[in-house]
Amino acid sequence: MYAKNQAEFAAYIDAGDWQILSLSPERFVQIEPNGKIWTEPIKGTASRGHALCLPKDDQKSLQQLLDSEKEKAELLMITDLLRNDLGKVCEAGSVKVTKLRELMKLPHVWHTYSQIEGKLLKNQTALQAILSMLPGGSITGCPKIRACEIIDRIRKKRRGIYTGTMVAFWPDGSVDSSILIRSIQAERLFAFFGLVSFFIGSWWGHCNGFSSACGMVGVVGEGEEFWCEKFFGGEGGFVSAFRTIVDNFS
């Protein structure tokens, strides 16, 4: 799995009746034993040129991402939101933005992200800090509380693990966590993964969503070229794709 897609927060959980396979590139919160805490929200995505079954210039795609005022504004908004979230659990004056709109280069997509860090309050445990910052600001957007209230009111069914958080507690006392994007949840003979950007109605979003999917489903299927054909061409492409995912999990 990791050989095909070396996501920084790749993880697998097998709990018997259900499994989670995650190839998330996004850190939610990391906390060191000395109290240093930081978060790295991602906002801004562009497909890599070679990731699609279409001719596309990689550098042109990257430049389009960097020139996008929309992507820039969204990341700045989320950076400020996470800075505020950290401020609630950190010592006064310790919170600072250490990286702003840095590039993340992955096999199938480009991302832009920020890094915000601080010093954890002495009366705060790592678990308390993470719980107080949930859900991840890069998922909810801003205003965070109001967005969550609206979602709770209109959503008919909960979406399981998708865009939740996976947390690892290490023996040295450090804690790390990821945002559960590009993740698959399998329960017996069913497998689920979310790809909201696939349906936002623009070609830009469609390409970026598809590029993310290529890296995800190619791990449990027959490679990204196979999946390009399944998603774009042929009758019942999505059905065939999900059937193959289920076969690989069962």
- pLDDT tens string, the chain, 250 residues long: the values are 566 667 888 888 888 888 888 889 999 999 999 999 999 999 999 988 655 545 557 888 899 999 999 999 999 999 999 999 999 999 999 999 999 999 999 888 899 999 999 999 999 999 999 999 999 999 898 899 898 899 889 888 777 788 889 999 999 999 999 999 888 888 765 555 554 443 344 434 444 444 455 555 444 444 444 434 444 344 444 434 444 444 444 4
Q: Would residue 200 count as lying in a domain? A: yes
- For residue 92, the one-letter residue type is A
In which domain, by residue range, is 229 found? 9-249
* Euclidean distance between CA atoms 165 and 192, whole angstroms: 16
Q: Would residue 1 count as lying in a domain? A: no
CATH number of domain containing 193: 3.60.120.10
Determine whether 26 is an active site residue.
Answer: yes
pTM: 0.75
State the catalytic residue, choosing from 26, 71, 74, 117: 26
Q: Would residue 58 count as lying in a domain? A: yes
DSSP letters, 63-106, are HHHHH-HHHHHHHHHHHHHHHHHHHTTB-TT--EEEEEEEEEE-
Token pair in block for residue 132: 């107080």
Q: Would residue 241 count as lying in a domain? A: yes
33-65 confidence digits (pLDDT tens): 999 999 999 999 998 865 554 555 788 889 999
* Euclidean distance between CA atoms 56 and 214, whole angstroms: 15
Q: Would residue 2 count as lying in a domain? A: no
- Reported for 154-162, long-range contacts at CB under 8 A and 24+ positions apart, including other chains, are 159/194, 160/185, 160/192, 161/20, 161/185, 162/192, 162/193, 162/194
* Euclidean distance between CA atoms 173 and 102, whole angstroms: 28
* Euclidean distance between CA atoms 100 and 114, whole angstroms: 5
pLDDT at 43 (0 to 100): 95
Q: Would residue 138 count as lying in a domain? A: yes
State the catalytic residue, choosing from 40, 43, 144, 230: 43
Q: Would residue 23 count as lying in a domain? A: yes
Q: Judge whether 211 and 203 are in contact, CB under 8 Å.
A: no
Q: Would residue 4 count as lying in a domain? A: no
SS3 label, residue 18:
strand
pLDDT at 209 (0 to 100): 46
pLDDT at 204 (0 to 100): 41
Distances (CA, A) of 47 to 106, 120, 202, 213: 10, 36, 14, 11
State the total domains in the chain: 1
